[in-house]
Structure 1
Amino acid sequence: MTDKLRIALAQLNPTVGDIAGNLKKAVDARREAALADVDLIVFSEMFLAGYPPEDLVLKPAFQRAAAEAVSELARQTADGGPGVLIGAPWVEEGRLMNAVLYLDQGEIKGQRFKVHLPNYGVFDEPRVFQPGPMPGPLNIRGVRIGVPICEDIWLTDVVECLEETGAELLLVPNGSPYDASKFDARTQLVVSRIRESGLSLAYVNQIGGQDELVFDGASFVINADFSLAVQMPAWVEKVTITDWARAGTGWVCAPGEKALVEEDLESVYLAVVQGLRDYVNKNRFPSVVLGMSGGIDSALVAAIAADALGPDKVHCIMLPYRYTSSESLMDAEACAKAIGARYDTIPIEKPVAGFTEALEKLFEGTQSDTTEENLQSRTRGVILMAVSNKFGALVLTTGNKSEVSAGYATLYGDMNGGYNPIKDLYKMKVFALSRWRNTHRPKGCLGAEGIVIPERIITRPPSAELRPDQKDEDSLPPYEVLDAILEGLVEKEMSIRDIVAMGYDRAVVKRIEHLLYISEYKRRQAAPGVKISARNFGRDRRYPITNGFRDAD
């Protein structure tokens, strides 16, 4: 009977579709673990394919490539080194499964299939996978190990089945996306499964960005007595060695690393940095470019970009018009200088005049309105896209969630671009993160120390500067009011009546609901951006564009 196990937990950053690259990561991690005389190395959910693979996994050529990678990795285990538990798509009797394969002694020793396929929020796994049968444990080097896959521990039955069929401990591969409240939810969930089963559990999560999703890692081990044995860091690729010993009828993991997992603003900031970094690097953009307005949104995006990629890969362009204030000109330049990014100025007076002249006959007899204001924004969008085309830089958009919710953004103007790091951040969170970044430089960040966003940018009243003396609050309620109403409408799906009961004016709430609904067509055309909240636009909240409903309360 085996009384000791050494298990490596591989918290790594795979790339969806890059099967060869993910296989190399797995081989390198296994080689590292072998130096520590490890018995088994555990990778995250769907590691060889990358997670989530979406409809790519339906492609037969992709399925074959994944199966070949599994076979190649299995052959490598003939060297007598660590066994491998790794996630991959797997076709079994004509059914495509979300699988974890056990590889050892040169062959595929066993496989387990995900039972519960999530179909809510950002997930739609039943679209591509078939559910697996209730599993029993795998016999891994003399130990009966249960391998529930991610969602399988969010309900009780899979772990209950594993405990009843003789599992001695649980290893859980995960592809669990980040949101600001997820870490505590995972811990509470795992404690519940341990309480029900009496089994120690290791939770192995991936890190990295994948389009709008970002994964924080923060893998951990909790023993059957509810003690935290190991806490891996968030936002770091790492292979951690854990030592296990049989204690009576159960298994106990020896105390190991206890990393501090970042919380609150630091956690959110690291999430947007990770999401932007991986979107740019995995899609092989050489750099990024953004319009620098002298306002807080573009300043924060520039700071995030410098932290994610390094200041040398960030190009800030001020695009002034007759309504651009001297303060904005000075603040934009000061911010770019503090960040260390390249800064250029391209006045837009002439191109705007060209558009105006071209439209003069058609618009004859009409009054100036938002049409002329939007021409300024759209001119800026054209110029930024031209810079992108010429030099290959990815255009970053800078609209926050408050503006995007209320439609306070110009389609094909300031919404032009390929990615938006602050898309899921309300305006008040933008203010808070800007202040926080001026006093902190988080781990792994490549930007400057100290103040990177000049104080006046944070304290000046926000303005789009599309007409004289314009302020955001001319068109919108104060942001502290707007954000609270939007959180009720978007995140919590509250009724008008319930939001009014919180102390907000009914007419204002009704107006914001109206703006939210009529702006859906804009959001459908918006750039992707990092998901931070439990309900972001796009993957989480999927509302119809044509929508005749209004809350009658």
Structure 2
Amino acid sequence: MVKTNSKSVYYHLRVGLAQMNSVLGDFPENRDKIIQFIKKAEENRCDIVLFPEMAITGYPVQDLVYKQDFVENNLKIIDQLKPYVRNVIAVIGCITKVEKSKNKTTAPFYNSAAVLYPNGTTKYIHKHLLPNYDVFDEKRYFNEYKHFPLIKFEQLRIGLEICEDLWDKQYSVKVSKELKKRGANAIFIINASPYYIEKPKIREGLVKLDAKKYKIPFVYLNTVGGQDEIVYDGRSFVVDDSGRTIHRLKAFEEDFICFSLPIPVKEKFERTSLELIKNPKDLYKTDYLRIDTNEEIFKALVLNLRDYYYKTGIFKKIVLGLSGGIDSSFTAVIACHAVGPENVVGILMPSKFSSDHSVADAIQLCKNLGMEYIEVPIKKIHNVLDEEVREHYQVEEFSVADENLQSRIRGVLLMYYSNKFDALLVSTGNKSEIAVGYCTLYGDTNGGKNVPGDLYKVQIYEVADWINKNIKPTKSSNSKQLIPQNCIDKPPSAELKPNQTDQDSLPPYKILDAILYEMIENQKSIRSIIKMGYDAELVKRIEKLYHASEYKRAQLAQTIKITKKSFGLGYRFPIINRYHTTRQNI
């Protein structure tokens, strides 16, 4: 049963949501896309249309904001959009300058929303709360806004928030409360809110709580797309004054809707063109667009890699090394769905330690995906290099350095192909391996982009299972599932020495991942992790590997952020760090 505020009367406002994918810094393309959405909003007789945070510039702009004319040119776009705003109010995310007389800090800009009215006037509303954690660094660039203006439409008053303004728990200023206090009948929020697992549920829950608390509807618009390591999942939504979600937009896709928003007021307006709603629930849309976590992860990786490939505009194809293992197989699937199998090439580089089934599994995967593959055996190259290092370095014993020589040969061959054919080399290391340094610098870590680097090994198996249940091989393949079962079932191995498996050096991934999760995501001490029941010596060993690999992580290709704590923009740990070894003396 749908509950509404029985003491109120309801008017409806026609609202358009443009869940758009901006290209950072491409003002003309973003402008043209905004124009098309404005036209669509007017065709659908919207009263107001919303665009995401920094829709004109893309987000986050980082130090681009200091480039000469960058902010001025983004404001020129506002002027170029005005002629297209004829019968609708358009709210568009942008950047504005702080007036010199008010610039008491070193941050000369506002994170703003331009409110364009059909009569040609423009008003600006600025962001109040500035995030300075994880991937965010807004206090470096922007000033906090201290006022709470409202958007007026007839007798209705709309409060506007920009992203962090919603997440006010850690701030003394409560923006929703201030807007409600000033008479807001509804609150609209424009966002560039990055995705991580569980984030959609958290943000929607937060909005529902505020809607119930303040007894007004909330409209949440998010951007969509990939920007460097960040994924924006879209999934905008609308919550009514009782906290019920009444609309959701698509996940990981551009989308547009125009809908009637029921807005409660205490009593009827005497003179207005606004239409009354007798039964608000008649306007509710209940075919919610929900997807499970594994599908979310798959779509997030595909979206980010696709946008990275096309938005950079410098690559002609994607190349990756294929070993027949789960990580490279998983990465190949993501790459083919991101840019099409015709634009992906797999390089198979078997050594004298490679098993026959590894090559066969990799070839079967390529056939299942319909992608090109090239086999380049490295036995001859390896033998030559092996003889040279033994002669000149006077070494005999086979060690880890000799194992890694093979990985580095493969890295050279992959980088040659990348360089020669303008291909984006994607690396295939997972978060478990990266965390403990089970990877080779200038070998399997080579690349311009890493795909599964924010997924623990166990998560990769889970998403691979979803892939095989939901995505079929090409029609020309005689296989029943996309990723060959042998790629999943075989014990993980780098195949750098005879009969090698990952568990020769590491504990089972189920245990390793659980310990790493507490260490990385929850930042727990080894004492706390040991108290959870894990073997003390094992925990200490894993922590030692984790800290000893910090210098490796500092040099890795950018990955795709899927978890709350990824190795990337929001991960800021020093390489020189003895705290983990000296703290027991404190």
Match of 1:318 in 2: 348
The 5 Å alignment of 1:109-258 reads 109-155=122-168, 157-249=174-266, 254-256=283-285, 258=287
TM-aligned CA distance change 1:450 to 1:33, over 3 Å = farther
Is it true that 1:516 corresponds to 2:522 in the alignment? no
Partner amino acid for 2:290? Answer: V
Give the counterpart of 2:293 among 248, 258, 264: 264
Match of 1:280 in 2: 309
What does the per-residue CA deviation read over 1:7-34, in whole Å, with 9 as the maximum and x for residues that have no partner? 1011111111111111111001111121
Is it true that 1:73 corresponds to 2:102 in the alignment? no
Match of 2:440 in 1: 410
> SS where residue 327 of structure 1 aligns?
helix
> SS where residue 120 of structure 1 aligns?
coil
- Of 356-365 and 155-164, more deviation after overlay is shown by 356-365
TM-aligned CA distance change 1:4 to 1:157, over 3 Å = same
User: Is contact 1:4–1:243 with CA below 8 Å preserved after alignment?
Assistant: yes
Give the counterpart of 2:386 among 340, 356, 365: 356
Is it true that 1:504 corresponds to 2:528 in the alignment? no
TM-aligned CA distance change 1:52 to 1:157, over 3 Å = same
TM-aligned CA distance change 1:140 to 1:508, over 3 Å = same
Partner amino acid for 1:286? Answer: K
- Of 365-374 and 97-106, more deviation after overlay is shown by 365-374
TM-aligned CA distance change 1:245 to 1:187, over 3 Å = closer
Is it true that 1:89 corresponds to 2:89 in the alignment? no
Residue 143 of structure 1, CA deviation? 2.6
Partner amino acid for 2:180? Answer: E
User: Is contact 1:40–1:85 with CA below 8 Å preserved after alignment?
Assistant: yes
Match of 1:27 in 2: 35
Partner amino acid for 1:168? Answer: N
Gaps of 5+ in 2: 1-9, 101-107, 268-276
The 5 Å alignment of 1:332-411 reads 332-411=362-441
Q: Distance in 2 between matches of 1:62 and 1:357?
A: 56
Q: Distance in 2 between matches of 1:383 and 1:539?
A: 29
Residue 498 of structure 1, CA deviation? 1.7
Residue 231 of structure 1, CA deviation? 1.3
> SS where residue 294 of structure 2 aligns?
helix
Q: Distance in 1 between matches of 2:229 and 2:571?
A: 13
TM-aligned CA distance change 1:515 to 1:223, over 3 Å = same
Q: Distance in 1 between matches of 2:12 and 2:458?
A: 52
TM-aligned CA distance change 1:60 to 1:192, over 3 Å = farther
Q: Distance in 1 between matches of 2:493 and 2:54?
A: 45
Q: Distance in 2 between matches of 1:447 and 1:179?
A: 36
> SS where residue 342 of structure 2 aligns?
helix
Q: Distance in 2 between matches of 1:354 and 1:39?
A: 73
Residue 358 of structure 1, CA deviation? 3.7
Aligned residue pairs: how many?
A: 549
Partner amino acid for 1:18? Answer: D
Partner amino acid for 1:428? Answer: V
Partner amino acid for 2:300? Answer: A
User: Is contact 2:18–2:37 with CA below 8 Å preserved after alignment?
Assistant: yes
Is it true that 1:289 corresponds to 2:319 in the alignment? yes
Partner amino acid for 1:89? Answer: I
Partner amino acid for 1:93? Answer: E
Partner amino acid for 1:457? Answer: C
- Of 227-236 and 525-534, more deviation after overlay is shown by 227-236
> SS where residue 352 of structure 2 aligns?
coil
- So what's the TM-score if we normalise by structure 2? 0.90
Residue 541 of structure 1, CA deviation? 2.2
Residue 81 of structure 1, CA deviation? 2.7
Partner amino acid for 1:115? Answer: H
Residue 258 of structure 1, CA deviation? 3.4
The 5 Å alignment of 1:38-77 reads 38-77=46-85
Match of 2:273 in 1: none
Q: Distance in 2 between matches of 1:157 and 1:446?
A: 56
Q: Distance in 2 between matches of 1:232 and 1:533?
A: 22
Give the counterpart of 2:111 among 88, 93, 98: 98
User: Is contact 2:208–2:244 with CA below 8 Å preserved after alignment?
Assistant: no
Q: Distance in 1 between matches of 2:554 and 2:476?
A: 32
User: Is contact 1:310–1:446 with CA below 8 Å preserved after alignment?
Assistant: no
Partner amino acid for 1:273? Answer: V
Residue 259 of structure 1, CA deviation? 3.0
The 5 Å alignment of 1:422-433 reads 422-433=452-463
Moved over 4 A (4+): 250-253, 445-450
> SS where residue 362 of structure 1 aligns?
helix
Give the counterpart of 2:120 among 107, 112, 127: 107
User: Is contact 1:74–1:106 with CA below 8 Å preserved after alignment?
Assistant: no
Gaps of 5+ in 1: none
Partner amino acid for 1:113? Answer: H
Q: Distance in 2 between matches of 1:247 and 1:137?
A: 16
Residue 54 of structure 1, CA deviation? 1.2
User: Is contact 1:19–1:48 with CA below 8 Å preserved after alignment?
Assistant: yes
Match of 1:420 in 2: 450
User: Is contact 2:115–2:122 with CA below 8 Å preserved after alignment?
Assistant: yes
User: Is contact 1:311–1:447 with CA below 8 Å preserved after alignment?
Assistant: no
Q: Distance in 2 between matches of 1:125 and 1:450?
A: 49
Is it true that 1:532 corresponds to 2:562 in the alignment? yes
Residue 370 of structure 1, CA deviation? 1.3
Q: Distance in 1 between matches of 2:309 and 2:475?
A: 15
User: Is contact 2:209–2:243 with CA below 8 Å preserved after alignment?
Assistant: no
TM-aligned CA distance change 1:130 to 1:150, over 3 Å = same
